[in-house]
Amino acid sequence: MNVVIIGTGNVATVLGKLISGNGHRIVEVVGRNAAAAQTLARLFGASANTSFSNINDSADIYIIAVVDTAIETVAKQLTLQHKLVVHTAGSVSIQVLGKLSGGYGVLWPLQTLRKEMKAIPEIPIVIDASNEATYTTLLAFTKSITKTVFRANDVKRIKLHLTAVLVSNFTNHLYTLAEDYCHKESLEFKLLLPLIQETGNRVQTNSPKAVQTGPAVRGDNTTINNHLQLLKANPTLQKIYQLLSDSIKE
């Protein structure tokens, strides 16, 4: 397929690499920042464009890969009534594209993506479409770039997005808090990396609940109280520790 990518950030870059690496042709990269658009376009041997109202009209699919809050604004500037147009957000309704085209959809990569990635990880992709004909086309395209495709409407997709925040964003924030604590206490955060890795490995083949460890699941209140005392000078982290411990106990 010939593809136009609208956006120049992390999702646009990684999806672009995935798409171009699986036999499709990116014909144009569109972005507000001319330098960013040109840089990404060169990577794919595509043309660069900064005008949302004058986009290449020869492509088979148009992918809006911008920040969630900008999707609706970008869509209002496009004129692609007879083209397949999708956005890449998990938390934005498919209906923001409803007035843009007769065939529209969602192509959401359920993965944390950074343009600096040297290797592209496994990326499950969640899709939806405005009608069955569009869905059939989008499904074939998506299957050509990833082995894991799941269909979800707005209701299911926002719930999946919520769980993605829990397992990725919130977990990473806990890593951040732990790293900050290590720095303040002259401890080496890198010593925790094998533990992080092993925990991730276990949930590949087991229910997370089945492999839960630690003082809360054991009912070890002595250790929990000792930890809470250590966190008296950090009330925010102390509150999070108490909340999560209580949740595990429940």
pLDDT at position 112, please? 95
Range of the domain at 128: 2-152
Whether 70 and 182 share a structural domain: no
Total domains, the chain: 2
Whether 135 and 164 share a structural domain: no
pLDDT at position 101, please? 87
What are the tens digits of pLDDT across the range 43-83? 999 999 999 889 999 999 999 999 999 999 999 999 888 89
Whether 120 and 176 share a structural domain: no
Domain boundary pick from 152, 185, 213: 152
Whether 28 and 130 share a structural domain: yes
Whether 49 and 167 share a structural domain: no
Whether 168 and 212 share a structural domain: yes
Find the CATH number of the domain harbouring 206.
1.10.1040.20
Whether 34 and 112 share a structural domain: yes
C-alpha pair distances (Å), 45 with each of 16, 26, 30, 38: 11, 8, 13, 10
What are the tens digits of pLDDT across the range 89-144? 999 999 999 998 889 999 999 999 999 988 999 999 999 999 999 999 999 999 99
Q: Residues 6 or more apart from 91 whose CB is under 8 A from it?
A: 68, 157, 158, 161
